[in-house]
Amino acid sequence: MTALELIEHGYHVEIFDQTDAAKAASWAGGGILSPMYPWKYHPAVNQLAQFGKQSYLSWNKKLMPVSGIDFEIEQVGMLIFDHDQYDYGLNYAHDFHEPEQESSLLTQDTLHQLNPRLNKTLDSAVYFPQLANIRNPRLTQSVLKYLQSQPNVLIHQHQRIIEFKQTNNHIQAVLDEEGNRYVADHYVIATGAWTENLIDQFGLKLEIKPIHGQMVLYKTPEKWLPNMCMNNTMYLIPRRDGHIVCGSSTNDFGFDRDLREDISQNIIQAALSLVPDLVDFPIVKQWSGLRPGSPTGVPKIGRVKDLNNLWINAGHYRNGLVMAPASARLLREQIQGVATFFDASPYQI
């Protein structure tokens, strides 16, 4: 997203990815275009997240004619079943001036008319009709394909940057593992969970670390589950073609991405407790990803202190996808030296 922002404003961009491009946490996540329980988050997270849905709708219109890939943004709404969160959810839109988070309390009859797949024992939910999800693997594929089609973009896959060459307060070049040297006017570290490895040479500690998240994917008939469902941080996200993404876990296993059977069973049991009939459908895939965990969930977006051309856009934790468009714009405006579209100080390094 940072690259898209920059090329839209006349920059030439080179992207270096240590593995396959666009295949890390953003590919692996659920794609809910809102923080889970936004009232639990720092206002700086919600400030970025509020632009997610409309930004992706605009980007999809621009990119799809070139990439041929639809992001599949589905406004199916969200049902939240955590009774202890009802008051927060019902008041959030008013208290924080978030019209996209308008909600209402549904009692049993209305709830099961809206979503007849739900467990019959569920007696109420808070319903957020405007919440949407994006099919994030399609999003990342579309962005990558679009960038690859642009003459002012060069993407290096399986090429890890390991060192910055610095003179006084200026980065002169970067080096990859084979000693190849690359020169630019500005350098952006947008490396998610791997950020600490790159910034260590500057004596920076941002406390960004990998947080393992695991997912389970069911396949049902098209439009079988009408809404997203959430309870106790576990969620079900229906895709347009009947796939249902179920997750997710939060564990500190370092950079180990192995699937854990106990976590799979926890996710499956949570999903079945909400929608018991899922037991009749196949699990077609399971996977994990490494989120860039940060202490407050507020990302670092801005220039590295004492360096005039090194920038960071990282540490988005569980909300990287929904915050990405606004994060990219905020960074681009700082690089350009123009007024930012809102206060950038909460994100400074």
List every span in the chain annotated with CATH 3.30.9.10: 209-293
Q: What is the pLDDT of residue 183?
A: 98
% of the chain beyond a pLDDT of 90: 99
Q: How far is CA 92 from CA 39, 89, 101, 322, in A?
A: 7, 5, 7, 18
List every span in the chain annotated with CATH 3.50.50.60: 1-56+148-204+309-349
pTM of the model: 0.96
Average pLDDT of the residues in 13-34:
95
Q: What is the pLDDT of residue 203?
A: 93
DSSP-derived 3-state class of residue 304: coil
Place of tokens 């994100």: 347
Q: pLDDT category, 208, cuts 50, 70, 90?
A: very high
Helices (H), the chain: 2-8, 25-28, 43-49, 52-67, 86-95, 108-114, 136-149, 195-199, 261-274, 320-336
Superfamily of domain 209-293: D-Amino Acid Oxidase, subunit A, domain 2 (3.30.9.10)
Residue (of 47, 208, 229) closest to 126 by Cα position = 229
**Angle, vertex CA 260, rays to CA 254 and CA 265, nearest 5:** 140
Fold of 1-56+148-204+309-349: FAD/NAD(P)-binding domain (3.50.50)
% of the chain beyond a pLDDT of 70: 100
Average pLDDT of the residues in 62-74:
98
pLDDT tens digits, 88-143: 999 999 999 999 999 999 999 999 999 999 999 999 999 999 999 999 999 999 99
pLDDT tens digits, 322-333: 999 999 999 999
